[in-house]
Amino acid sequence: MDRTQIFRFFFDSAMVAWFALPIRQKPGQTVTKKLTGWCILLFLLPIYLYTGPGNVPSIVLRFVIRALVYSLWIGFNKGVPPAKSLYFGVLCWITFTCENNIFLTPQLSAIRWNQISYNLPFINDTVINRSFEFILELFLITLVSRLIPLDKIRGVTKNRVWLAATLIGCELYVKYTLKLMSMLPSGQFPPELTIYPILMQLLTLIALIMFERYLYHRDLREEARLGEAINKYRYENALTRLVADDDLRRLHHDLKNHLIVLQNMIDDNRNAGEYIQKLMQGIAGYERLVETGNKILNGLLSEKIRAAQKEQIDVNACFDFRDGAFIDDLDVCTIFGNAMDNAIEASRQVQDPEKRCILVKCSTASENLIISFMNYYEGDLNRDGKRLLTTKTGHEHGIGLNSILRSVEKYGGTMVTDSDDYHNFILTILIPIPR
């Protein structure tokens, strides 16, 4: 049994734990789950003890085993959802593979295969060669896991999937090419065949880090924007309620006088209808007050309804949001704010005032929170992937729907866009309620 490979196995296992250290552990992780995660790492041991032929199937198989084992370890030890743990496992594999490929280059492979002798009296050559590898591995693992905000990654988006797939393909190709080169006699390769692959590996990690940091700062800007919106809606809700309370107290105080006036008008056979109409117009504004059980949503919908009514757009809201408390305020604003903006923009384009109507529903069924928005549209619908977009609001509509989808997918939900035979655009959101 190769003791060096056994030591490498334990060192790499420690590096997996070091890579995943910034990921916050989900509360309630039992000792049994953690021990299971560590036991799963033992499935990597045959890879260290058996080199393999170095052909394409062997390289792909070893990649699959490593990525799955890393993902399962993170899933069991950190309590991360499967999609995120798989993504983290792929990131870990890419980092390990970059280090491995560097020491497969023609000029540095001698260190990997322990073919360099240092002639030092007190230190074994194997110890020195392995130290070079382990130091670089520790450096790259630390660089990637600390510069990428792993704990802030909310979900595995399509952009992340495409980037990961591209980097996996590149790394497998480079590894296979370097394996082929290692089978040729040494001394036949110019230094460029070492320098270029090393630069490629470093640029791969730099691109990965920059990509994730860009997404992280983009999310920070979005959170800041939504945070301002939340404060605005809190203020709007508080102000609306304050004004409504004052008006209701005044209306209650004046109610007796109004009734006396109406009684006199009726006794004198005067037209009381006009007076009643004016009185109803005075209290019509209270119909715009929305009670959803969520203060942020109250303020948001009240503002959107006022904005819609200024455009002569009728809004009907039927709400039961009591089971939606698990949704973060930022995501509440993203989902309802973008959906209402899209509906108002589409309704604004409708020429017939009678058809300017938005229907908003929120209810609970089969342990799912169901949210739907329906509005009449003019023009045709275009299909963007699996989604339908109106032609007059396509670009902005698509951006808003993407934002909604990101928030919905955070909670394991789904979003569907559809239309009916009456030219109504329907957006339906289904989010499982955690128990």
Question: Is 417 within 8 Å of 387 (Cβ atoms)?
Answer: yes
Res 173: pLDDT: 93
CB neighbour class for 264 (10 Å; exposed up to 12, middle 13-18, buried from 19)? exposed
Res 21: pLDDT: 94
Res 134: pLDDT: 92
Res 254: pLDDT: 64
Say which DSSP state 342 is in: H
Res 74: pLDDT: 94
Res 272: pLDDT: 64
Question: Is 87 within 8 Å of 212 (Cβ atoms)?
Answer: no
Q: DSSP for 9-60? A: HHHHHHHHHHHHTTSPPPTT--HHHHHHHHHHGGGGHHHHH-----SHHHHH
The two three-digit tokens of residue 109, written as one number: 């492979």
Q: Which residue has the tokens 């198989």?
A: 61
Res 248: pLDDT: 60
- Residues 73 and 411: their CA atoms lie apart, in Å, by 23
CATH topology of domain 290-435: Heat Shock Protein 90 (3.30.565)
Q: Kindly list the domain boundaries of the chain, sorted by start residue.
A: 3-224, 290-435
Which amino acid is residue 8, in one-letter code?
R
User: Which helix (H) or strand (E) is 211 found in, with range?
Assistant: helix 192-267
Polymer length in residues for the chain: 435
Res 395: pLDDT: 47
- Residues 155 and 136: their CA atoms lie apart, in Å, by 30
For the entire predicted model, the pTM comes to: 0.66
435 residues of the chain, pLDDT tens digit each = 467 888 889 999 999 999 999 998 887 778 898 999 999 999 999 888 887 787 889 999 999 999 999 999 999 999 888 999 999 999 999 999 999 999 988 888 888 777 777 777 777 778 888 889 999 999 999 999 999 999 988 888 888 999 999 999 999 999 999 888 877 766 667 788 889 999 999 999 999 999 999 999 988 888 787 777 776 766 666 666 666 666 666 665 566 566 666 666 665 655 666 666 666 655 555 554 577 878 778 878 888 888 888 888 999 888 888 888 899 888 888 899 889 989 999 898 888 888 899 999 999 988 899 999 999 988 777 665 555 555 445 444 456 788 888 889 888 899 998 888 888 999 999 999 987
- Residues 424 and 426: their CA atoms lie apart, in Å, by 6
